[in-house]
Structure 1
Amino acid sequence: MESLQRSVWEGLSALEKEEWMHTIARQLPEQMRYEGLQTFERYGQRTETGVFVCGGQQFVFVPGDRVTLGWDGWQEGMNEETSADMLETVSEYGVEDVDSFLSDQMSPVREVEIAPMLVECRTHSLGWTEVTEEEAVEQDDTDFAAALEGFRHGKLNEYEQYQQFRLVRQGEDIRIFWFNEDLALEDLLEEEAEAGFGVLTEDEWEYLYGGGCRTLFPWGDSFDYTLKLKHFGDLQEADDPMDDSTEPLTALVDQSDRPYDLELPNFFGVQFVGDPYTYELTLDDDGEMQPKGGDGGSMICGGMGPLVGFLPAATVFYRDANASDLDWEDLMDCMHYRRMIRLTEVAES
């Protein structure tokens, strides 16, 4: 297993890495196919790794590591722009100590051992399942037919009947999603385990997102005002990216085809939702649900602007203390998850 640890893996030749990927592939379910090596680079970190495909979904090999996770103070410290923006925003809500405000929302500092793993690059919606029009009609929902007809001839790009169905326009096509109200977390975990997959722990998620960095964001301690963010658009094109108005800046920016930066593959080749209105499912040390990567949009809805509003999605260690107060159905509505395989039993070749 030593060769699958990050410190050793980075020093292996491409041929040695290929040999390890083929060794791993021989021990995986038949539907998991090895595609080859690919290099991912972002935020000053770089990984040459193996890419696998299963059922049309990409997985990447992520080497193991021993890392420090959690946040209790600055490594570099905020630059002047970030510091002024942060203080101005939180002071409007009665917060005087920025460091305490941040540390109260971050996971505690701890040393952890991360096992090497295969990780699905993209997430799946937990509560919403894509269906055909015929399958949707079979649900016998009295509102669906009228909603679909109106959507088909209307100009909306997306329409949702709360926790019932969702319609999304994609070119000339309309994608239909149905809310899976009967899903239980235990059933999901059992179903994935039977298929040979697991779900990330909070430790694994923080490692995947930050790669063991000790800064607030994966790129450093200061906010990046060149980002294009969902709900705010391109901050560089905004009249004032530090404006903490209650309305997102979308109407003020150039809505180009440039992708949202927080959705791009990172240095492991893993992609995150990058939207504080959503969560990603992880489990804590006791196997209980620990949502990551969002706060259900609480701070954006509170008018906190791009910097503070995106802390839940952009920072490495954010932990929503209020998620446990939400009903399971409400969490399912905005929850995503990804499959993974821990490579703890691959023998040295």
Structure 2
Amino acid sequence: METLRRNMWQALNTQEKEALMRKLVHQLPDGMAYKGLETFERFGQRMETGVFTQEGLRFVFVPGDQVTLGWDHWQHGMNEETSTDLLETVSEYGVEDVDSFLASQMSPVREVSIAPMLVECELISLGWIEVSEEEALVQENPDFPSALEQFKQSEIREYELHQQFRLVRQGEDEVRILWFNEGIELEDVVTEEAAAGFGLLTEDEWEYIYGGGCRTLFPWGDSFDYTMRLKHFGSLEGVNELVDESTESDYSLVEEKDDRPYDLELPNFFGVQFVGDPYKYELSLDSAGDVMPKGGDGGSLICGGTGPLVGFLPAAAVYYRDVNASELDWEDLMDAMYYRRVVRLASIHE
């Protein structure tokens, strides 16, 4: 059987899928093992797919497809709540044509052929490496020992010395130490992962994995979902009324008592998790092999007080492109950059 497309894969029964997944093993990097089939369902899309692991990290099989990517017009159109919210927000910045504003923020519409691949489910931080206390002390950073001691004695959840080290409280007693990955270049990452049998996502692949080829603004439709729980905002239900009663237009002022996971961080219909935070980026590469950050804008919109709809366009809209990313230094991008590994698959034969 030739390389699998999504419609072919979906038509197979469980036994046929199992057999094909087991045949993939000889193509995969050392230490990667097939664990079985799992079903993922979200945003109206459903996929039963193969799960693989390597050193405790999960990968899923994503079938290929011929898809249209990019955005320049509505598929169904916004509902009244989204339309009103969007117009009121962008009009404060002098935007009169909402559709043109959105289109200018998105990648162009194009037809793309996506090959089948294994995709890492979770993300790896590019700019930060977790180290032990002993490894951190060896770095001989003059600020680290006192900062660590003060952090242990405090009740704060997280502390960072810009592009040097980050301390994160884990439970009541454990402290995670992250060290800035100074000096690493994109070429280093590409070369190192290629030597291990992995590639990095292209922008086309990222948009396909995030939206599944949907033609709507968000993976779930053209209207914003105000029932979500979002990082930096918390649960959105009722938040407008609470904020309107205050003297500030800051959603973060609303006290949150909801402990649900953040919706945009949950696995999607392929079983892949995304960062779900506009302050962060996921690394993808454009057609020239240059950096094309996806899934965020470094917090530019959200920091401007735009609220959850516009503030989360970079993290929620499938085809969003940060038009200002090319102006950022690599070191600045590294600070908030994450990446995932992929294994592009050759044809699968009977």
TM-score, length-normalised on structure 1? 0.97
Correspondence 1:1-349 to 2 at 5 A: 2=2, 4-171=4-171, 172-240=173-241, 248-343=250-345, 345-349=346-350
Offset of residue 26 of structure 1: 2.6
Offset of residue 99 of structure 1: 0.3
Which secondary structure does the structure 2 equivalent of 1:174 belong to?
A: strand
The superposition leaves residues 145-168 of structure 1 with CA deviations (integer Å, 9 ceiling, x where unpaired) of 000000001011000000000000
Offset of residue 346 of structure 1: 3.4
In 2, Cα distance between equivalents of 1:245 and 1:259: 29
Which secondary structure does the structure 2 equivalent of 1:169 belong to?
A: strand
Contact 1:245 1:303 (C-alpha < 8 Å) held by counterparts = no
| 1:42 alignment partner AA | R
The superposition leaves residues 275-334 of structure 1 with CA deviations (integer Å, 9 ceiling, x where unpaired) of 000000000011111000000000011110000000000000000010011111110000
User: In the comparison of the two structures, how many residue pairs are matched?
Assistant: 348
| 2:317 alignment partner AA | T
Offset of residue 239 of structure 1: 4.4
Offset of residue 2 of structure 1: 3.8
| 2:127 alignment partner AA | G
Out of 24-33 and 245-254, give the one that drifted further.
245-254
Offset of residue 55 of structure 1: 1.4
In 2, Cα distance between equivalents of 1:206 and 1:178: 30
Offset of residue 347 of structure 1: 3.5
Out of 78-87 and 243-252, give the one that drifted further.
243-252
Percent identical across equivalent pairs? Answer: 67
Offset of residue 253 of structure 1: 3.8
Which secondary structure does the structure 2 equivalent of 1:240 belong to?
A: helix
Across the aligned residues of Structure 1 and Structure 2, the Cα RMSD in angstroms comes to 1.5
Which secondary structure does the structure 2 equivalent of 1:68 belong to?
A: strand
Structure 2 gaps of 5+ residues are none
Which secondary structure does the structure 1 equivalent of 2:190 belong to?
A: helix
Contact 2:202 2:285 (C-alpha < 8 Å) held by counterparts = yes
In 2, Cα distance between equivalents of 1:139 and 1:247: 43
Offset of residue 254 of structure 1: 2.5
The superposition leaves residues 78-127 of structure 1 with CA deviations (integer Å, 9 ceiling, x where unpaired) of 00000000000000000000001000000000000000000000111110
In 1, Cα distance between equivalents of 2:243 and 2:156: 30
| 2:29 alignment partner AA | P
The superposition leaves residues 212-231 of structure 1 with CA deviations (integer Å, 9 ceiling, x where unpaired) of 10000000000000000000
The superposition leaves residues 186-221 of structure 1 with CA deviations (integer Å, 9 ceiling, x where unpaired) of 001000000000000000000000001000000000
Contact 1:245 1:304 (C-alpha < 8 Å) held by counterparts = no
Cα distance, 1:248–1:51 mapped onto 2, change above 3 Å:
farther
Contact 2:20 2:348 (C-alpha < 8 Å) held by counterparts = no
In 1, Cα distance between equivalents of 2:243 and 2:149: 42
Contact 1:233 1:250 (C-alpha < 8 Å) held by counterparts = yes
TM-score, length-normalised on structure 2? 0.97
In 1, Cα distance between equivalents of 2:93 and 2:247: 13
Cα distance, 1:285–1:270 mapped onto 2, change above 3 Å:
same
Cα distance, 1:203–1:246 mapped onto 2, change above 3 Å:
farther
Offset of residue 181 of structure 1: 1.1
In 2, Cα distance between equivalents of 1:216 and 1:245: 32
Cα distance, 1:336–1:220 mapped onto 2, change above 3 Å:
same
Offset of residue 28 of structure 1: 1.5
Cα distance, 1:300–1:238 mapped onto 2, change above 3 Å:
same
Which secondary structure does the structure 2 equivalent of 1:26 belong to?
A: helix
Contact 1:234 1:253 (C-alpha < 8 Å) held by counterparts = no
Contact 2:77 2:222 (C-alpha < 8 Å) held by counterparts = yes
